[in-house]
Chains A and B, each alone.
Chain A
């Protein structure tokens, strides 16, 4: 079974803090994604990566950056957390570079910024 793990289930941070969310997948997938999920809205893509050291902006990259130094690990960084970044953050992976069909998700990190 594909396993995608995220470093924390719940996180509380203060405005202005730098926040790191880590995601690891164990199935050698090429593509990795970071989404945020807010009530009443569909999942919104923040960033994705289809290769090590490669990254592409999604729909809402402002205020975020990412790092993919190893194939299995994709990190999301909030440079200076703000209250409007309070959300559920979901990491996903998919196997084949260039094609996205099924995505496999981690359990999510619920981030609260005070």
Chain B
């Protein structure tokens, strides 16, 4: 069974705080990992890819833990504009197939 699991939230976080969420995946043969962001009533957009060595882009850091089969997303100094749903995506062994988590909703409060 293909599974990518996320805590649906919502995570209610004050502006300026640090927040982190995880995503677990069931297939140990998974090849690639991504975080997408989806704003309310909008389409998903790629936030960042997740590499074995980790990946940092400004306030966002993504990590991969293959042994425990999870990826994480850390957001530092959170902004009101970070409020969105964050989707975890895993590419299975098939090159065409991406498996999507249901998303974690993040709400940043002033």
Residues of A within 8 A of B (CB): 31, 35, 40-45, 48, 50, 56, 58-59, 90, 98-103, 105-108
Known: A42-B4, A42-B87. A100 touches B98 (CB 8 A): yes
CA distance A98 to B95 in the complex (A): 6
Chain A residue with minimal CB distance to B103? A42
CB atoms of A40 and B8 under 8 A apart: yes
Q: Count how many chain B residues have C-beta atoms less than 8 Å from C-beta atoms of the other chain.
A: 22
Indicate which residue in B34, B43, B96 contacts A106 across the interface (CB closer than 8 Å).
Answer: B43
**A/B interface sample: 7 pairs, CB < 8 A:** A42-B87, A42-B99, A42-B103, A45-B98, A101-B91, A103-B98, A108-B43
Chain A residue with minimal CB distance to B3? A42
Indicate which residue in A31, A40, A45 contacts B102 across the interface (CB closer than 8 Å).
Answer: A40
Question: Which secondary structure dominates where chain A touches chain B?
Answer: loop
Chain A residue with minimal CB distance to B88? A42
| B22-62, CB < 8 A from A | 32, 34, 42-46, 49
Further 9 A-B residue pairs, CB within 8 A, beyond A42-B100, A48-B96: A40-B102, A42-B87, A43-B87, A90-B44, A100-B97, A101-B34, A102-B49, A108-B42, A108-B43
Known: A101-B49, A102-B46, A107-B43. A43 touches B95 (CB 8 A): no
Chain B residues closer than 8 Å to A98, beta-carbon distance: 95-96
Chain B residues closer than 8 Å to A58, beta-carbon distance: 97
Known: A56-B96, A100-B91. A107 touches B42 (CB 8 A): yes
Chain B residue with minimal CB distance to A90? B43
Chain B residues closer than 8 Å to A106, beta-carbon distance: 43
